[in-house]
Amino acid sequence: MITQAQYDTLMKEHQKLGVVRHAALKANMHRETATRYLRRRVGPTEQQQQRAPRTYRTRPDALAKVWPEVLRYLEEAPELAREATALLTHLITTKPELTAGVSLRTLQERLQGWRAKHGPPREVFFPQVREPAESVQFDWFNANELGVTIAGQAFSHLLGHTVFPYSNWEWVLPCQSESSLSLRSGLQAALWVIGGVPGKLQMDHSSTATHTLRRDSGEREFNADYLAFCRHLHLEPCSINVARPNENGDVEGAHGHLKRRLKNHLLLRGSRDFADEAAYVRFLAAVCTAANALRAAKVATERGQLRPLPAQRYPESECRAVRVSSFSTVRVRNCSYSVPARLIGFTVHAHVSEREVVICHEREEVARFPRALGQQARIDFRHIITWLARKPGAFRRYVHREELFPSLLYRQAYDRLRALQEHTADARYLQLLLLAAETESAKLAGALGELLRTAEPPLANTLRQRLQSAQPPTSVAPFIPDLAAYDQLIPALEVSA
């Protein structure tokens, strides 16, 4: 059968010249076929409409024997209608005599027809009318499946995802957890890039970054930090209903699209490793910028109706006053951080951001650590080594003992000392840490590495002697040219001139 386009060309060309052969050639069909259609003056579309529905089969039904068995399974478990591969595999294994000649595609088509007639109703989605600058949605998603590494080390992180529902403009920023600090940094980074503030901030109902659970009633309400943050940005806080992520559908749906886009760009980049986190942030910004360029018209409309940004950002860190315990540590967000032992009993201020914790006493910085993950402790051995060296018996069962191995070299040194003499290993290792606290770390690490490559035990006295006997680099006297020698060339230059 010819197509409707061929028929239209045939009739048009025949009307021009009245020559059947020429019209058939133009319509790319045989002359006899063209003659038949010219005589009938009925196109293929009209023929199909005039033809009575076919009530007979043109080939035997391959599912005739097995279909009653399939129906029995579907009556017991209607969800099997979406598992054609598993169903066919089971039938081939249990009843091979009924499945001869049955193809997977044939079974899939028959199951699709059964679902349309007898299947359960599917969820209905209702598209919403979006107004420009009306709201912004924010949510986190796990980005570990991207396989990103920083300087060769696996980078475990979330991505704080901001989406404007009207234009689908989006922005992401890596973060460690679903916290109020990551919300502040992630959302404000997006607002300062797009250049304005919408009317509402919509988030889910379960995040501890935004809600507080009331123990007496079990109800959730916005916490004070979140409300203060929204007041600063002049945003109206709102949340979706519990267990209804579809109500935050714009950002939830954008998660999958963004993941796929990032995976593709990582493949095109040829490497998932970045020199530092700043390089990874620039990569994310470039991907989002390219995606937002495809929505330029709606983005321009939305930008034009956004309210101005506040004069300055809401603080993306928080300050907490904490008391230094007798362990020479402070507890910040359920994690322990060490401080110099001289501050035991004093109150210090911990400035907590998404990435690090800075501890100050009377406005003077006394310690700085990367933000701890979970309840992992951050212990700087220099803060406690003087007292621990006086009490070597405390090292073996010290709660934070693993934090007292600054690098793999020190762990290897401790294992070497234990292999040589178990009962003196702890005291000898603490003397090694005491030397490390007094020495430049790079020099000591180099000397310790050389010592471990030999059979000599890694003792503090041995390392101290090696460091003292190391020859300082030879100083080279600066070259001072004699300018009088150049004066002798001046007469010769004048003669040649």
| CB-count burial class (<10 Å; 0-12, 13-18, 19+) for 347 | exposed
> What is the arithmetic mean of pLDDT over 301-310?
94
- What gap in Å lies between CA 439 and CA 134, rounded to an integer? 59
In tens, the pLDDT along 196-225 reads: 999 999 887 666 677 776 666 556 778 888
Q: Where are the domains of the chain?
A: 4-50, 67-118, 135-305, 317-378, 382-468
Give residue 490's pLDDT: 67
CB distance 451 to 428 below 8 Å: no
pLDDT over 70 (residue 122):
yes
Average pLDDT value for the chain: 88
Give residue 119's pLDDT: 87
3-state class (DSSP) for residue 467:
helix
Give residue 247's pLDDT: 63
Give residue 494's pLDDT: 60
CB distance 366 to 407 below 8 Å: no
CB distance 368 to 375 below 8 Å: no
Which residues share a beta bridge with 237? 201
Q: Is the dihedral of CA 90, 91, 95, 100 positive or negative?
A: negative
Q: How far apart are the first and last CA of the chain?
A: 97
- What gap in Å lies between CA 204 and CA 228, rounded to an integer? 18
What amino acid occupies position 171?
W
- What gap in Å lies between CA 43 and CA 20, rounded to an integer? 16
In tens, the pLDDT along 149-175 reads: 999 999 999 999 999 999 999 999 999
- DSSP per-residue string spanning 69-105: HHHHHHHH-GGGGG-HHHHHHHHHHH-GGG-TT--HH
- DSSP per-residue string spanning 264-328: HHHHHHT--EESSHHHHHHHHHHHHHHHHHTTHHHHHHHHHHPBPPPSSPPPSEEEEEEEPPTTS
The rounded Cα 380 to chain-centroid distance in angstroms is: 30
Q: Left (φ > 0), alpha (ψ -120 to 50) or beta: where does 133 sit?
A: left
CB distance 97 to 118 below 8 Å: no
> What is the arithmetic mean of pLDDT over 367-378?
85
CB distance 265 to 291 below 8 Å: no
Worst-scoring range by mean pLDDT, 27-31, 53-57, 436-440?
53-57
CA dihedral 374, 380, 386, 390 (to 10 degrees): 30
| CB-count burial class (<10 Å; 0-12, 13-18, 19+) for 394 | middle
* Angle subtended at Cα 380 by Cα 377 and Cα 385, rounded to the nearest 5 degrees: 120
Give residue 395's pLDDT: 94
Report which secondary-structure segment, H or E, holds 353.
strand 347-353
> What is the arithmetic mean of pLDDT over 314-330?
93
pTM of this prediction? 0.68
> What is the arithmetic mean of pLDDT over 354-368?
92
Place of tokens 């980049």: 269
In tens, the pLDDT along 238-268 reads: 877 665 666 667 888 899 999 999 999 999 9
- What gap in Å lies between CA 223 and CA 207, rounded to an integer? 11
> Sorting pLDDT into bands at 50, 70 and 90, what band is 97?
confident
Strands 200-203 and 236-239: parallel
Q: Is the dihedral of CA 359, 361, 363, 366 positive or negative?
A: negative
Return phi, psi of residue 196, to 5°: -175, 180
What amino acid occupies position 284?
L
Reported in sequence order, the residue ranges of 86-215 that DSSP labels E, i.e. its strands, are 135-142, 149-150, 153-154, 158-164, 169-175, 200-203, 211-213
Please provide the CATH number assigned to the domain covering 135-305.
3.30.420.10
Return phi, psi of residue 312, to 5°: -145, 160
CB distance 183 to 227 below 8 Å: no
Q: What is the DSSP letter of 62?
A: T
Tokens for 420? 């040589």
CB distance 164 to 194 below 8 Å: yes
In tens, the pLDDT along 442-491 reads: 888 888 888 889 888 899 998 888 888 765 555 556 656 666 666 666 66
